[in-house]
Every structure is written in structure tokens, then in C-alpha cells.
Amino acid sequence: MSRQRTPIALIAILMLAVAFASVGCDKLNVKKLQANYYFNKANQLFRDAKYSKAIVEYENALAKNPNLMEAYRFLGECYKSLYLPGKESAENKEKAAKALEALKKAYEMEPNNKDIIYSLGDMYDRLKNFDEAEKMYLRIIDLEPGNMNNYYVIAEFYKRYSGEKKELKSKAEDMYLRRIETDPENVQGYAYMANYYDQLNVGDNKNKFDQALTYHMKRQQLDPNSAEIYYTIGVNRFNKAYQLQNFLSQAEREQLGADAEKNLLKAIEMDKNLAESYAYMKILYTNVQAKVYPERESHFLELANQFGAKWDEARKRQLEKMKLEKELKNTAGPAIK
């Protein structure tokens, strides 16, 4: 399982925390004033992703004030950012050890700090230390049982390891369900659950498409005007028809093809710029309808070509829009306050 990743949400939180972190007590103490100087200097280096240089300044700060918890925390983050999961060199292993040492020190000083707990769990996760990572993630749930996003974090954690430990599939499902139970009116919870089933291997669960559909339909009930939900339902029906073609009757494949077509066309009607809908119309006609109705193969292949051209046009519009948004963002002046 690849762990070559840096959680985007975690980095964003860290950047925000560094921006406001400071030494706030006993400013008349010379050593603490010096620690404050090194700490703020390290924070700027951290924000600039100059982690090796930041390490030196965090260590300088801790030499002046060994009780500075935030310095331990971000010292650990620096080493973690430099660590490369899977690389077995002595230098890389030392970075992992120092990251753990600093983060564990911060955790000892603030055992109820959710950000530190999450970061320590993430470090154990990168090291594939499942048991210690699980302890940290479950600790977050103990601290904030009403925060639905915590259940998503550990559900994704279990899902990543479920290929190696089959028993974790049920744990992942339970966490997705607990996220839904925390806020039953939140559409995203049902999307996570549907996506979980959609991504399961067919060999492990041939009912996965219908299980996913149940949660897609829950989403649709809560948000009936979403083109994206019609699109995902269409994709779900296509995938079942295509991936299970050797296990389905002619009538079942005909119905699935019709359902996929209906939902994808509805998505296009609602949002003509949703380029992926055109792409799936093309592969639906090529890989399902043309096979289910061989006597009409040429007709469906012609339709596939038409939707392929529409996909190219819609994708071109998407790219032009993204380019324009980027240009506007780069040329925008400072916000007026």
C-alpha cells in the first residue's frame, strides 16, 4: 500500500496554526524572549517549506525554552515532511525516529490536543504501524464524539488497510455509518458511504453496486437538483452492467443500460458543462448498449462518436474556465477592507 502522500487538510491546518503560534508567557524572561525569536523565525521557514532550516531554529528555541510545546509539535512536522515512506536508508529512518520523538513529546505535554494526536497518528500510519495509528485516531473520536469528520478520517484509515486485513472492511463501514448517524441530513456522509461501496473489488462483493446505489439515492432525496448525483448514479449503473456482464441476464443488462442512459442524460440536461457525463455516455454506448443490442451496434457506435465529440468540447470549456480562473486569481489585487 502506497503511503507517498501528504494530507492536504493537515498541511492547511498546520500553516494556519503556525501563522498564529507564539510564546505568550513571561515575556520579560530573557531566555523565553530568545526562544520566541527563534520560534517565530522557524515558523516563517516552516511556512516557506524550508524544513531543514526550520529544524535548526525550532531546536534553538527549545534550547532556550524546553517547555515550548508548539516547538516540539512543529519540529516533529518538519521531520515528518522530510521523511519518505518506504525508503530504508539510515538517514530516512532517523528522520522518522526524530519526528516520532518530537510529536510524542508534544503529546505528553498536551494529551488532549486533537491536532497533535492526528499528526502523531498520521506519522504512525506512514510507518505502517497500524496498532499505534489506530489508537491515536480512536483517541480523537473519544475526545470529539460529535464531530462527524473524525469518523471519516478513521473510516478512510481502515479502508486503506482493508486489502491486507479483510476484517477491517466492517470497521470501515461502521465508521462511515457513524458519520451519517452524527448528522443524517448531511449529503456528504451518504456520498462517502456510496463511494466506499463503489470502490470495493467486485470479487469481494458482487452486491456492491446496489449497496452503493442505496446511498446515492439517499443523496438524491436530500439534494434532488444536483447534476453530479445523477451523474454518479449513471456511472454506478454502467459499472454494474459492464463489470458483471458475465453474471447478468439479458433483461438485467438492458435495464441497467437504460437506467445509466437516463441518469447521465439528466445530468447533461441539468449541467451541460459536466464533461464527464459525455465521456460516460460514450463508453456506455460502446461497451454496454452495442453489446446488449448487437443488431443495433452501428447505431450505438455512431452515438458514441457524437458524445465523444461533445466530451472533447465540454472538456475544452472546462480547461479554458480553469485557465481563466487561474489568470484572474494571479492578477487580482489585494482585497479591499
pLDDT in tens, the chain (337 residues): 444 444 555 555 555 555 445 444 444 477 888 889 999 999 999 999 999 999 999 999 999 999 999 999 999 999 999 999 988 899 999 999 999 999 999 999 999 999 999 999 999 999 999 999 999 999 999 999 999 999 999 999 999 998 888 889 999 999 999 999 999 999 999 999 999 999 988 877 789 999 999 999 999 999 999 999 999 999 999 999 999 999 999 999 999 999 999 999 999 999 998 999 999 999 999 999 999 999 999 999 999 999 999 999 988 888 888 888 777 777 654 443 3
CA pair distance 87, 317, nearest whole angstrom:
42
Measured in whole angstroms, how far is the alpha carbon of residue 322 from the centre of its chain?
21
What is the identity of the amino acid at 199? Q
**Which CATH architecture best describes the domain 9-84+95-111?**
Alpha Horseshoe (1.25)
Residues 77-124 pLDDT 10s? 999 999 999 888 999 999 999 999 999 999 999 999 999 999 999 999
Residues 305-319 pLDDT 10s? 999 999 999 888 888
H-helix segments, the chain: 8-20, 30-47, 51-64, 69-82, 90-109, 114-126, 130-143, 148-161, 168-182, 187-199, 208-222, 227-243, 250-270, 275-284, 290-292, 297-331
CA-to-CA dists, residue 144 to 141, 148, 150, 185, angstroms = 5, 9, 8, 19
CA-to-CA dists, residue 63 to 7, 31, 116, angstroms = 30, 9, 21
